[in-house]
Amino acid sequence: MNRKPPSTGSVTLEDVARVAGVSRATVSRVINGNTTVDPAMRELVERAVAETDYVPNRAARSLVTRRTDSIALVVSEAEQRPVADPFLGRMFTDPFFGRVVTGVMEVIRPRGVQLVLMLVDDAASRANLVSYLRQGHVDGVVLICGHVADPLPRMLAEARVPAVLSGRPGQTTPISFVEADHRAGAALAVEHLVSAGRRRIATIAGPMDMPASQERLTGFREALAAHGLAEAGVAEGDFTQAGGAAAMRRLLAESPDFDAVFVASDLMALGALPVLGREGRSVPQDVALVGFDDSSAALACDPQLTTVRQPLEEMAARMAQLLLQQISDPAEALQSAVFHPTLVIRESA
């Protein structure tokens, strides 16, 4: 890189381009969040921006680009949920959301893009959200909504709001999405349990109105069938710690003859473990336990949880990249990405 220009007056794009040794157009593309710039070029520009202390004129730029340099992370929850399951409380206790924010911020922070958190959980709040987005207060949406009947993905598509969905849409909707291969992840759990000699394998599934839960249960059943095994019991949970404890109590009451359990989330496994202990069943000696996510909850378990890892940070980063591409080029075709899970073996199985 060339030397930093004299600090007389405000630094311009031309100054940054001269220090980086690239064209003004390249600098503009990097600063505007264009994700197609060669990584080596991007690094040169970002170093030059830091060296020159360049600060974009956001107000002037927004008049030209009609962009706000902000995106929304929208979490849409089902309307019918238990009173004892406060939406906002789960946002700050479920490791899933923090990992998504981490992945998104990794992509947008270097580009000077701000993140706005928005929560919706009924028809009125969804309508207000779409109205807010139509007015251009943010440039696009990273959307978390896992319920099949949630109308928000369709509403965003109809409003032509740039958006990327976490997980495959439950209905046929023209929207980009990023998801994990949930069937393959469940199969990894079953294969590990079978290879350890377990033959009476039950599961605590996630809510059956969520495509991810449906896929994990299907993968579990398909893997059992491939080994000529029947499921030893199924109890539906709700992806919370309390829901995992309640589901384990139902399993013990209705289908107690199991030697292993595949739990569809680490947080539910964290709730299920002490229930087994109170019934005098040790893990992994009497019951092997495998979770799903590889979140901080897996390490909070005692013994620490063997689990299927879905790379949430990488998935969230990909969502942010796809969204920035849409914002930069609204005519770009919709895209999807599927990440492959891996098994993390610890002490519970």
Assess whether pLDDT exceeds 70 at residue 101.
yes
More confident residue, 333 or 33: 333
H helices present in the chain, as ranges: 13-20, 24-31, 39-52, 58-65, 87-93, 95-108, 123-134, 152-158, 182-195, 211-226, 241-254, 266-278, 296-300, 312-328
Q: What is the pLDDT of residue 83?
A: 42
The superfamily CATH assigns to domain 13-56 is lambda repressor-like DNA-binding domains (1.10.260.40)
Calculate the average pLDDT of the chain.
Answer: 86
Pick from 99, 154, 105: nearest CA to 126: 154
Q: What is the pLDDT of residue 59?
A: 47
Domain boundaries, the chain: 13-56, 70-180+312-339, 182-309
CATH of domain 182-309: 3.40.50.2300
What Cα–Cα distance (Å) separates residue 139 from each residue in 4, 66, 158, 291, 328?
A: 33, 9, 16, 36, 10
More confident residue, 252 or 32: 252
CATH topology of domain 70-180+312-339: Rossmann fold (3.40.50)
More confident residue, 32 or 311: 311
Q: Rounded to two decimals, what is the model's pTM?
A: 0.75
Which range among 52-56, 69-73, 184-188, 298-302 has the greatest average pLDDT? 184-188
Q: Picking from 19-23, 37-41, 197-201, which range would have the lowest pLDDT averaged per residue?
A: 37-41
Q: Do domains 13-56 and 70-180+312-339 have the same CATH topology?
A: no
H helices present in 279-329, as ranges: 296-300, 312-328
Percentage of the chain modeled with pLDDT above 90: 50
Summarised one tens digit per residue, pLDDT across range 106-137 is 998 888 889 999 888 888 888 888 888 888 88
Summarised one tens digit per residue, pLDDT across range 275-304 is 999 999 999 999 999 999 999 999 999 999
Pick from 21, 342, 28, 20: nearest CA to 188: 342
The crossing angle, in degrees rounded to 10, of helices 211-226 and 182-195 is 40
Q: What is the pLDDT of residue 52?
A: 84
Tell me the mean pLDDT in the region 260-279: 95
Which pairing describes strands 141-144 and 70-76: parallel, antiparallel, or unpaired?
A: parallel
User: Tokens for 156?
Assistant: 């965003």
Q: What is the pLDDT of residue 58?
A: 52
Tell me the mean pLDDT in the region 30-42: 78
